[in-house]
Amino acid sequence: MSSSSASNEVTVSRADKANAIRALAMDAVQKAKSGHPGMPMGMADIAEVLWNDYLSHSPMNPVWPDRDRFVLSNGHGSMLHYALLHLAGYDLPIEELKNFRQLHSRTPGHPEYGYAPGVETTTGPLGQGVSNAVGMALSEKMLAAEFNRESLNIVNHYTYVFLGDGCLMEGISHEACSLAGTLGLGKLIAFWDDNGISIDGEVGNWFTDDTPARFRAYGWQVIDRIDGHDAEAVASAIEQARGNSLEPTLICCRTIIGRGSPNKQGKESSHGAPLGDDEIALTRETIDWPHEAFIIPEEIQAAWNAVSAGSARETEWQARFNNYRDAHPVLAAEFERRVAGKLPVDWSQSAQAFIDALNEDATTVASRKASQMTLDGFGPLLPELAGGSADLAGSNLTIWSGSKPVSREDASGNYIYFGVREFGMAAICNGISLHGGFIPYSATFLVFSDYARNALRMAALMKIRQVFVFTHDSIGLGEDGPTHQPVEHVASLRLIPNMSLWRPCDAVETAVAWRYGIERQDGPTSLALSRQNLPHQVRDASTLERIARGGYVLLDSEGGEPEVILIATGSEVVLAMDSATVLREAGRRIRVVSMPSSDVFDAQDESYRESVLPRAVSCRIAIEAGVSDGWRKYVGLDGAVIGLDRFGESAPAEAAFEYFGFTVENIVNQVNAII
């Protein structure tokens, strides 16, 4: 399986190929005056074996569907990845390595999805890369179960992940790796860089876990005490890992951080700082690398180049896929659609028909229940829709009539029981999204979005599609009290760049929010859904259409320009509508604006925003059962916000809302105070 020719293997040693990585890493970090040379130099020998002898990939087509996935979970060692991509023949020229860590380069300080070809995910926050890898391996298993037929296996690839001590210390690695063992992800192979060093020094002072025992307890195959600088030992371990299709594998590789640096190898000083010109000169002597900075001899470059071998692999797969298409034309077309990320041709029409019917039904339900109804409506249209809940399926209502559990024995389902693993769940679903073939959703209580926070941020940063379903969205969940009552969470999620947040007021808005999240391909969407029932709001056809614009006039004033505009979201929209009724009876001209998604509304053209919130009307009140500051941009200094700038109380929902001033009486008094 080697990408190197036999002649090259004779003249170019494994040591020379690995030293090319070491040289590029230390030179790029030195030129940038920042970075992490130690890990690339320590894992160079492992990477050389994996990439030259086992990794199935195609540098000329980095998105080939059946490629192996490679994830650098210890993303601070990014120069290892960039060196590999450059040497293997990806479109990452040496100029980009020279521009390491510089503005607008394709080689940022940590690997970022969408910059360099061949980077499968953004890593750096430790533990998330391996969790993404679990999602990728799970996707491979699910797609294989759905599409492979007889001897025509069109989905058959591995997920390889490099990880370090820091990844294993992070709690998210426990969450994701435990589930990987339970689900029997046998094509997931992880390489632990067991170098005993982290930023603060020798990890024996704070990390003494029996890691092999831990992973065996998860249900992993563990290959322990491998010399990470012995190519034959590494290759033998990979062979053993690939021979076990029932369990994921952890290969424990003993390595020396900064390998080759005579004064800094094995020390924390090589971890996160340039080696320095003098030490680099000594390192060149030590590893017998006489070449100038960023110079790779032609014979070594040729030995690394994987373009021809990759094209051959892709050609062989394409021939197999053509046979598959002949035998199973419908499945083949569906597979191509799915991996391309395209929605079914009849999606838009069918989705709108469902929303129209929901509007006609005028159903009063909790928006969490409306979400389940939407899954029942959209699910049959979207076989790629897959997700689950963090042990709250019965509360989040994420199981729909077509749900089928994914299990170790049968991966052909579409519903994943994640257990109490909010962070792991969100990161795994990021991996599912990145892999392709599925539109993932994940669910928990809104208050527990805190546990998943960094994975939500990473989804937004990577601009990938995932629908986060967050139920029990306010003090309206009631008796569970302030530990479970989200107050700051909706506002907090709105602050994440590129995160779209929807808080729908009824079943119709909920369906529109789901449609938005499914159709959006440049970022994630969060749905904040109620526990309590929310009455249907009456809309004509044009009003129904405007929901998708994020904010719209639900009820307009009679007799001229409004005196006051009430802006509300979610469960507070009905409160605004009831208050408007009382105020209109008193002769006031009141407009009610429902704003399920402020970020979508803010993205509309100025004329539309002016039509909804005219500058001439400065008397405005925003109503939302959460922290108030974010609403000041809509109500200004002359307006008011009825919010909740403290933690809640344990009480039935009705009592909690009344206690905190979410009443018609209070809103009417606030209106009269500002007019």
422 as an active site residue: the answer is yes
Give, for 211, the enclosing helix (H) or strand (E): helix 211-218
- Residues 218/36, Cβ–Cβ less than 8 Å: no
Secondary structure (3-state) at 593: strand
Alpha carbon distance 635, 632 (integer Å): 5
- Residues 159/69, Cβ–Cβ less than 8 Å: yes
Alpha carbon distance 181, 161 (integer Å): 15
Nearest to 535 by CA among 567, 487, 501, 570: 570
Nearest to 82 by CA among 68, 60, 64, 99: 99
DSSP secondary structure string, 30-44?
Answer: HHHT-S--HHHHHHH
- Catalytic pick among 146, 175, 422, 624: 422
Alpha carbon distance 40, 22 (integer Å): 6
Q: How many residues does the chain have?
A: 675
Cα 438 to the center of its chain, rounded Å: 13
Beta bridge partners of 227: 254
Distances (CA, A) of 267 to 35, 73, 76, 202, 510: 15, 21, 16, 8, 55
Retrieve residue 143's tokens. Answer: 């797609």
Alpha carbon distance 645, 632 (integer Å): 13
Q: Would the CA dihedral through 398, 402, 408, 411 be positive or negative? A: negative
Tell which phi-psi region holds residue 175, choosing left (phi > 0), alpha (psi between -120 and 50) or beta. alpha
Cα angle 197-201-202, degrees, rounded to a multiple of 5: 60
Cα angle 311-314-319, degrees, rounded to a multiple of 5: 125
Alpha carbon distance 417, 112 (integer Å): 29
Amino acid at 517: G
Nearest to 598 by CA among 473, 513, 507, 471: 513
Active-site annotation, residues: 422
